[in-house]
Structure 1
C-alpha cells in the first residue's frame, strides 16, 4: 500500500538507506527502455556499471535504479532487466504527470552530458522547507507532552511573551497551526511532496 514495493527500516534515517518508490507514486521517476542504435543519432549512454546493490533493485513491476550525477539524484525505472551500458529512450505517457516526468528526463539527460541540471519543477522553496521542519518538530514535541508555550520557547525563542498575554497572542495560534500541519504530514500529507500538484496552464 502507499505506492512502494520495498520495505524501509523505520529505525534508520532516510539518509542511511535508499528508499524506492513505484513510478505511479513518484512522478519524477524516469521510465526508460533499451533501443537499437539506428542511423547517425548520437545517443547518450546510460552507464549503470558502477551502481552498487543498493542503487539497483528488482521489484514486481520491473527494475529501479538511483543514479547520482554531479551530486544530483536521478531515479529511473526499467520494465525489463537493464543493460550495464546501453542506449535507451525515455517513455513519457501523456498523463497528468507529463510535465514532471519530462522535466526529470531533461535533467537526467543534462546530467549524463555533464551539464548543469538545474532545480526540479517540484523543488520546495526555502521558506516551505523551514515551515515543514518546524511543523514536524512542533508535532513531535506535542506528542512528547510539551505545551504550546513550551514549544514556542524552543522554536521561536526571539518572542518573549508573558503568561498573561499568551492565551490571545498570535504566536500561540502560529504554534497550534504548526502542530496541526505536522500531524497532517505524519498522517499521509507527506505524499504531496512525492506527487506535486499539476502545473496550471
Structure 2
C-alpha cells in the first residue's frame, strides 16, 4: 500500500473491509521498536498527517560516507595509494608530500578504506538491520 509516496507493507489474515476497525499486533522481539514506529507512521499516513522518516533511515552524512567508503575500497583494490585516493575523493584538500604522513586526512582515508572492506565482508547487512538501541 502506498500512502502519500511512502510504501507500507501490511499483512491481513483476510481481505480488508473499508468500514471495519482494525487492530495491530506487535511481537515482543528484537524488531519491536521498528515495528511500532512503522505502525505509527502508517497511522499518521491514514489520518493525513506527515509520516516522518523511519527510525532506521540513513542520514545524508551517513549515506555520503558509505558511498565514499565503497569508492575508496574500489580504488584501493585497484592498487591506488591512500594519497591518490584522497586526491580523487577529496580534491579540495591538497596536502604537500612532507605533511601527508601525519595529516588527519590520511587517517580519514585509511578509515574509509577499512569501512569499505568491512562493508564488502558482510558489513552491508548492518545497513539492513539497524543496531539495537540497547547499551
> Which stretches in structure 1 are left out of the alignment for 5+ residues?
1-66
Aligned pair count?
132
Higher helix share: 2
Shift of 1:154: 1.4
Question: In the TM superposition, what are the counterparts of 1:26-65 in structure 2 within 5 Å?
Answer: none
Structure 1 equivalent of residue 7 of structure 2: 73
| Distance change in 2, residues 1:148/1:90 (3 Å) | same
Matched, 1:186 2:97: no
Higher strand share: 1
| Distance change in 2, residues 1:137/1:68 (3 Å) | farther
CA deviation digits over 1:72-126, x for unaligned, max 9? 2323446x6x63x536543210122211100011112222333210121122222
4+ runs deviating over 4 angstroms: none
| Distance change in 2, residues 1:136/1:74 (3 Å) | farther
Taking the aligned partners of 2:123 and 2:3, their CA distance within structure 1 comes to 29
Q: C-alpha root-mean-square deviation of aligned residues, in Å? A: 2.2
Structure 2 equivalent of residue 171 of structure 1: 105
Question: In the TM superposition, what are the counterparts of 1:74-113 in structure 2 within 5 Å?
Answer: 74-77=8-11, 83=15, 85-86=16-17, 89-113=23-47
CA deviation digits over 1:128-173, x for unaligned, max 9? 2221121111112222222211110111111111222222222111
> Which stretches in structure 2 are left out of the alignment for 5+ residues?
none
